Amino acid sequence: MKIQERTGAGSNRSSAPVQPTMGERLPSPPRERKPALAALAVLLILVGALGATMLVLRAGDRIEVIKVTGDIQAGESVGDKVDSVLVADDAGVNYIRWTQLDALKKLKAKSTIYKGTLVIGEMFGAQSTLPAGKAVVGLSLKEGQYPEGLAVGDLVAAYQVGNTGSSSANSDDEAGSGSTGSAGSAGAPLVDDARVTTAPGTRSDSTISSTNKRVTVTVDESDAAALARAAAANQVALVKVPGN
């Protein structure tokens, strides 16, 4: 009896679902395709590639312009104080290109331009523009009347030298200059803060005679007359002062 019950129980278990054997995979549900998302992904890739290309092209759109390598005073040309540098082209900035250097050297600075500045057209003009209250005085100096290595932009003091007594005895009109000369001989400079705008050895320098060199300085307008009188008598010596 017990044997039949066990047999019947075994027959009942055969009705349960058969489990997959080892190594077999269950069938995966079909994937839902989304063509819109695929198209969007492709579009984003194309836009990114186009943007990267535009950035590369923009970075390569550079021009060669002029940079100042030394301070340039008002009324001075650039001379050799220039170098070339590459910058991004910008239609809103009036850069002076390196190919325009020869034309730029014929112009004068309208105001002081400092080392490291990129040159733009508005900085220079055909004629120099002096600041209000300033004047330019030309000097004819021999070696020994100016320090060796004198350069454009140097700050100097102008002293009256030589025989100043005879100038005061010429006429009453020159008494003022005689007194200035005596002051100069006493140690006070005619001008204590003149700025050199042309120096011996520069391209704008010209030899006046076999021994004299041209030097021009910018001074206060109130000091110009006394300095010009001393310069006409060849009684001026320049000395570098602190501030250079």
pLDDT digits (tens, 9 = 90+) for 175-230: 444 434 444 445 788 999 898 888 876 554 444 445 788 888 888 989 999 999 99
Q: Among residues 188, 204, 103, 213, which one has the least CA distance to residue 153? A: 204
Answer whether residue 162 shows pLDDT above 70: yes
User: Which pTM value belongs to this model?
Assistant: 0.46
Q: What is the pLDDT of residue 60?
A: 58
Q: 62-125 architecture in CATH?
A: Alpha-Beta Complex (3.90)
Vertex 113: Cα angle to 108 and 115 (nearest 5) = 130
Predicted local distance difference test score (pLDDT) of residue 182: 41
Going by pLDDT thresholds of 50, 70 and 90, the confidence category of residue 49 is confident
Tokens in use for 103? 């034309």
- 98-153 pLDDT, tens digit per residue, is 999 999 988 888 777 888 999 998 888 876 667 778 888 889 888 889 988 888 88
* pLDDT for residue 238: 93
CB 68 within 8 A of CB 81: yes
Comparing 25 with 160, the larger pLDDT belongs to: 160
Q: For residue 5, name the pLDDT band (cuts at 50, 70, 90).
A: low
Residues carrying CATH 3.90.1210.10, the chain = 62-125
Q: Residue 119 has what pLDDT? A: 92
- Distance between CA atoms of residues 196 and 228, nearest Å: 15
Cβ partners under 8 Å of residue 106, min gap 6: 77, 126
* Among 212, 191, 210, 189, residue whose Cα is nearest residue 200: 212
Location of structure tokens 């730029």: 104
- Give the C-alpha separation, 111 to 139, whole Å: 22
38 compared with 156, residue with greater pLDDT: 156
Kindly state the average pLDDT of the residues 49-66. Answer: 75
Report the chain's mean pLDDT, rounded to a whole number: 75
Q: Quick count: other Cβ atoms within 10 Å of Cβ 133?
A: 8
